[in-house]
């Protein structure tokens, strides 16, 4: 009987290391692409090495979180203030007819309007660095939230935060958007929004 030759089959021993090297090369290439993408979105990179890039990215994310927390806190304070003002306004402006029956009493609803428009909309704009906080008071008719979002979309605003509340047929909307390059003043932003809302 012919004795069997011992040893590995030719080619098999070389195939596994080659596959391992190729997998490692692809992994490193994928990591490099992700670092390139990360470097593109981090505004301030102190050094070009990967450790510094990761540190700068963490700092940038923490700054964004702090900014979001600050904007949300400010928005909550403003919402509480506006709700109190709306209740006081309705108390001061409400009237009743001169009848003796409580069922026949009618409450006059306050009307909000912005200068130069008869659409029943009151619009406030406050600019904060690269963002703007927009507050809209309007009657809760004809889908005011959809109209406002349509106007913001037409103007290509990037919305960071949006909230709305309804009190006695009045709609209050608070929006935080990133300022576009062409609109950097409160009056310009307000005029552009009012024009779009009138067209909705």
Q: Which domains does the chain have, with CATH numbers?
A: 69-96+105-199 (3.30.70.260)
pLDDT tens sequence across 32-58: 888 778 777 777 777 777 788 788 888
Burial class of residue 123, CB neighbours in 10 A (0-12, 13-18, 19+): buried
Please give the pLDDT value at position 48: 73
With tokens 């024009």, the residue in question is 195
The C-alpha atoms of residue 159 and residue 152 are separated, in whole angstroms, by 8
Please give the pLDDT value at position 169: 81
Model pTM?
Answer: 0.41
Please give the pLDDT value at position 107: 37
Phi, psi of 153 (to 5 degrees): -65, -40
Give me the residues of the chain with pLDDT under 70, please: 1-17, 82-119, 199-200
Which residues fall within 8 angstroms of residue 152, CB to CB, at 6 or more apart? 159, 175, 177, 193
């Amino acid at each position: 009987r012919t004795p069997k030759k011992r040893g590995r089959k030719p080619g098999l021993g070389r195939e596994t290391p080659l596959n391992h090297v190729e997998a490692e090369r692809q992994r490193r290439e994928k990591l490099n692409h992700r670092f390139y993408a990360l470097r593109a979105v981090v505004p301030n990179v102190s050094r070009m090495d990967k450790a510094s890039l990761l540190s700068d990215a963490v700092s940038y994310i923490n700054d964004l979180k702090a900014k979001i927390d600050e904007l949300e806190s400010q928005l909550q304070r403003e919402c509480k203030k506006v709700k109190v003002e709306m209740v006081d306004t309705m108390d001061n402006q409400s009237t009743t007819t001169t009848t003796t029956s409580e069922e026949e009493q009618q409450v006059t609803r306050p009307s909000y309007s912005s200068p130069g428009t008869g659409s029943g909309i009151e619009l406030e704009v406050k600019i904060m660095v690269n963002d703007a906080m927009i507050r809209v008071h309007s009657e809760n008719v004809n889908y005011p939230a959809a109209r406002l979002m349509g106007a913001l979309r037409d103007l290509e605003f990037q919305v960071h935060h949006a909230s709305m509340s309804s009190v006695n047929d009045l709609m209050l909307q608070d929006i935080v958007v990133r300022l576009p390059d062409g609109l950097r003043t409160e009056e310009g932003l307000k005029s552009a929004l009012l024009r779009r809302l009138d067209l909705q």
